[in-house]
């Protein structure tokens, strides 16, 4: 079941407001709400869940207008940032809670509840833990119990608030793959909030980037990385160096030298060209678009990153092959081989 958010606006005394958000989550999709803290991403998730009321705008689940439905009736599975497990209940009781609180008419039988609980424990790989209490579990295990509890009520959609925020790096990695797997198996439309670009780009089918309560771009991980809609998306998703640029006769020029970037129009200035570390290529000093001194060489996976100090004091990063001969302190030129052009704001 898809989710549609139409014209949602929320004003707060303070931060994390939302301005006129339109967003459609496709059925079965795994969508990441990505943004820095205070961008309103958690507020948007809570509005979808019904935990926060929007000032204006509507929320639809499939064809159902859920705007006025109270949180209890929305049938969303919500996983809280710090899990919010019921401390005084065992793992099994936590998972069964949503089924037990149903009205008599719609409540499954005891045996059925037990069957569902053990099925979900299986799904989250926690069989044998049913009588443990949350305080006896590790962070990753609590996270999985929280997910099982949310899935127990057969929610229309699954909403996760910073699902891996409180976990250490190794557990995060494992849980990411696992969440992806669960998503594929259950096929639930899922929205998760994160401030971690890598997490969003690795996990999600599509990424919605939020900044200061506005939706900057919604697109596939490739889309938002290769065709960022705004300078914010460009800089938020990774390292980017900026160069002042002009367009003359349909060609993009940096410091008077052409760069191989398609011009959006034939004339104009000023523009800013944003370059990723792999959009720059080292050349001999004095050549290329930029000269600078190497102030550091680091290894990054199968590549090396060199840090180049420009004459104006700004630093930029360039990606080079692992077997580079470049050394710290060397002066080099940089050639721009690609980039994304934005009009200066």
Partner 1 sequence: MSDAIAVHLAPPSPSVPVVTERRWVRRLTIAVALAFLFLFVILPLAVVFVEAFRRGWGGYLAALQEADAQAAIRLTLTVAAISVPANVIFGLAASWAIAKFEFKGKSLLITLIDLPFSVSPVVSGLIYLLLFGAQGLWGSWLMAHGVKVAFALPGIVLATIFVTFPFVARQLIPLMQEQGTAEEEAALTLGASGWRTFLTVTLPNIRWGLLYGVLLCNARAMGEFGAVSVVSGHIRGLTNTIPLHVEILYNEYNFVAAFAVASLLACLALLTLALKSVLEWRHGADLAGGAHR
Binding site for partner 1 (CB under 8 A): 49-51, 71-78, 80, 82, 84-88, 97-98, 101-102, 134-135, 149-150, 152-153
Assign 149 to helix, strand or coil.
Answer: helix
Residue whose C-alpha is closest to residue 294's, from 326, 246, 258: 326
Instruction: Write down the least CB distance from residue 188 to partner 1, Å.
Output: 14
Query: Quick one: 152 or 234, whose CB is closer to partner 1?
Result: 152
State the nearest-atom distance from the C-beta of 77 to partner 1, in Å: 7
CB atoms within 10 A of CB 82: 13
Q: Which is nearer to partner 1, 50 or 277 (CB)?
A: 50
CB of 187 vs partner 1, minimal distance in Å: 20
CB of 252 to partner 1, least distance (A): 50
3-state secondary structure of 163: coil
Choice between 102 and 227, CB closer to partner 1: 102
Least distance in angstroms from the C-beta of 68 to partner 1: 16
Residue whose CB is less far from partner 1, 84 or 337: 84
The total of other beta-carbon atoms located within 10 Å of residue 319's CB is: 18
**Nearer Cβ to partner 1, position 24 or 51?**
51
| Residue 73 CB partners (closer than 8 Å, separation 6+) | none
In SS3 terms, 238-279 reads as: CCCEEEEEEEECCEEEECCEEECCCCCCCCEEEEEEEECHHH
Neighbouring C-alpha atoms within 13 Å toward the C-beta of 312: 5
């Amino acid at each position: 079941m898809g989710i549609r958010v139409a014209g949602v606006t929320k004003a707060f005394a303070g931060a994390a407001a939302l301005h006129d958000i339109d967003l459609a989550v496709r059925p079965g999709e795994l969508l990441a709400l990505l943004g820095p803290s205070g961008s309103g991403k958690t507020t948007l998730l809570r509005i979808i869940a019904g935990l926060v009321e929007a000032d204006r705008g509507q929320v639809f689940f499939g064809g159902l207008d859920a705007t006025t439905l109270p949180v209890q009736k929305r049938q969303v599975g919500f996983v809280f940032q710090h899990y919010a497990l019921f401390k005084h209940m065992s793992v099994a009781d936590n998972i069964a809670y949503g089924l037990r609180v149903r009205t008599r008419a719609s409540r499954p039988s005891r045996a059925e509840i037990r069957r569902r609980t053990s099925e979900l424990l299986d799904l989250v790989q926690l069989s044998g833990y049913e009588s443990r209490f949350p305080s006896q579990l590790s962070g990753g295990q609590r996270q999985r119990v929280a997910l099982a509890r949310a899935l127990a009520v057969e929610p229309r959609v699954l909403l996760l608030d910073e699902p891996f925020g409180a976990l250490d790096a190794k557990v995060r990695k494992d849980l990411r793959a696992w969440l992806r797997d669960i998503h594929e198996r259950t096929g639930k439309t899922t929205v998760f909030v994160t401030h971690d670009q890598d997490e969003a780009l690795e996990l999600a089918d599509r990424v919605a980037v939020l900044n200061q309560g506005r939706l900057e771009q919604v697109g596939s991980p490739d889309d938002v990385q290769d065709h960022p809609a705004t300078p914010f998306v460009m800089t938020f998703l990774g390292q980017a160096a900026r160069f002042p640029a002009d367009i003359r006769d349909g060609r993009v020029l940096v410091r008077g030298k052409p760069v191989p970037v398609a011009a959006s129009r034939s004339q104009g200035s000023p523009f800013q060209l944003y370059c990723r570390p792999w959009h720059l290529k080292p050349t001999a000093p004095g050549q290329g678009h930029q000269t600078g001194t190497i102030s550091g060489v680091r290894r990054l996976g199968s590549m090396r990153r060199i840090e180049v100090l420009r004459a104006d004091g700004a630093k930029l990063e360039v990606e080079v092959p692992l077997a580079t001969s470049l050394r710290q302190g060397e002066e080099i030129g940089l050639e721009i081989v690609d980039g994304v052009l934005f009009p200066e704001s």
